[in-house]
Amino acid sequence: MTFTVTLTHPADSVLNYVEVYGSEMKYNKLTPADDGSYSFTMPAEPVRVTIDADYYPDNDTDNFLTWDEDNPTTAEKWIPHYDGDMYFDSDNLSLVANVTDDPKGTGGWFNNHEERAFSLNEDVIPNDALTVTYEEEGNRNDAYMFTVDIDRSKINAGTAKIVLVVENNSSFGDESVLACTVTVTEREPYETVEIWTETVIFDVSAIENDENTEDLYFTFTDKDYDDGTYAQQFQTILETDYEIVDGKIELTINYVVGHEYEITLDYRMGEPKPAVPDISFQNADGGEYQSGVLIFSKDGGSIELALE
């Protein structure tokens, strides 16, 4: 016998399993074929077919949890801004659920719980893009907020329902189930701009032996940065990224043709910080040093670097 299973609300539901039971064959869970159909050989006895599914309509609140009213419902797929761009937790889309009622048997202290989140459309938001965390307060670790973080670098255009389940382990069967539909859009590609690379040499011989030199770092900032372009706004070079040779530091930077850049120096250490040293440019190939500004020219364009 072959049959198919059709869910009434497929976008809001998940099919857990299909099972056949007979007194002779006992329990037998069926595996779907590539076309989604199920098959089994009918024995010479009556059998019972069980279809187990869960329905998750969007909801604002359930039991002791409530979605935060400021939660976003749309997300844009993250794409790198430049070669080597890194994804950070701050780039996530976050769905916050607040504890708005005391779970049963907790006495007002919610410190015994289990939480999980899953997607009903993994083609759009795969489960490995989801992470659940919680915030707590008080000396008894009282949980007051749960957050589902969505890694936007792993998602694709479309819609997906995200389900958050928090179980209260202080009372059997006590749980909250929240569901929220998230719409994902693809980001338009960043505009490609002309980028040059230049090497700049700083003369730090005056402070080479200063004990704070090992904490010195440089930041190159594009003052004309356009968020819609494939380019880097900040280039930070830490002490682990360079070495001092003969009192000089050699740095390589990328820059957008025609943009103005600011170079700042600072120390990577706690307060109080020492004063930033007075460091002057050491001319590099193709560079002309004029009145505190290092100017590079190429193919009719130029870049000016000035210490601020």
- The domain total for the chain is 3
144 and 43 in one domain? no
Signed CA dihedral, 244, 249, 250, 255: sign only: positive
Cβ 248 vs Cβ 202: under 8 Å: yes
277 and 228 in one domain? yes
The alpha carbon of residue 129 and the mean position of all alpha carbons in its chain are separated, in whole angstroms, by 8
Cβ 71 vs Cβ 148: under 8 Å: no
- The whole-angstrom separation of Cα 78 and Cα 56 is 27
Does any domain span residue 190?
A: no
104 and 180 in one domain? yes
170 and 121 in one domain? yes
300 and 203 in one domain? yes
233 and 133 in one domain? no
Does any domain span residue 14?
A: yes
Signed CA dihedral, 89, 93, 95, 96: sign only: positive
Does any domain span residue 301?
A: yes
Does any domain span residue 160?
A: yes
Range of the structural domain that residue 24 is part of: 2-55
Does any domain span residue 216?
A: yes
Residue 187 phi, psi (nearest 5): -85, 140
Does any domain span residue 33?
A: yes
Does any domain span residue 167?
A: yes
Please give the pLDDT value at position 216.
78
| Angle CA 155–158–162, to nearest 5 | 65
Does any domain span residue 205?
A: yes
41 and 68 in one domain? no
- In this structure, what DSSP letter does residue 242 have? -
One digit per residue, the tens of pLDDT, for the chain of length 308 reads 899 998 888 888 888 899 999 888 888 899 999 888 999 888 888 999 999 988 999 999 999 999 999 999 999 999 999 999 999 999 999 999 999 999 998 887 888 999 999 999 999 999 999 999 999 987 667 899 999 999 999 999 999 999 999 999 989 989 999 999 999 999 999 999 999 888 877 777 766 566 556 677 888 888 889 999 999 999 999 888 888 888 788 888 888 887 888 777 777 765 555 555 554 444 444 556 555 555 655 555 555 555 54
178 and 72 in one domain? yes
171 and 84 in one domain? yes
- The whole-angstrom separation of Cα 139 and Cα 160 is 38
Token digits for 249?
């530091």
273 and 211 in one domain? yes
pLDDT tens-place string over residues 98-140: 999 999 988 878 889 999 999 999 999 999 999 999 999 876 6
140 and 48 in one domain? no
Domain of 124, CATH number, reads 2.60.40.10
Report if pTM > 0.85: no
| Angle CA 296–220–152, to nearest 5 | 125
175 and 231 in one domain? no
- In this structure, what DSSP letter does residue 127 have? G
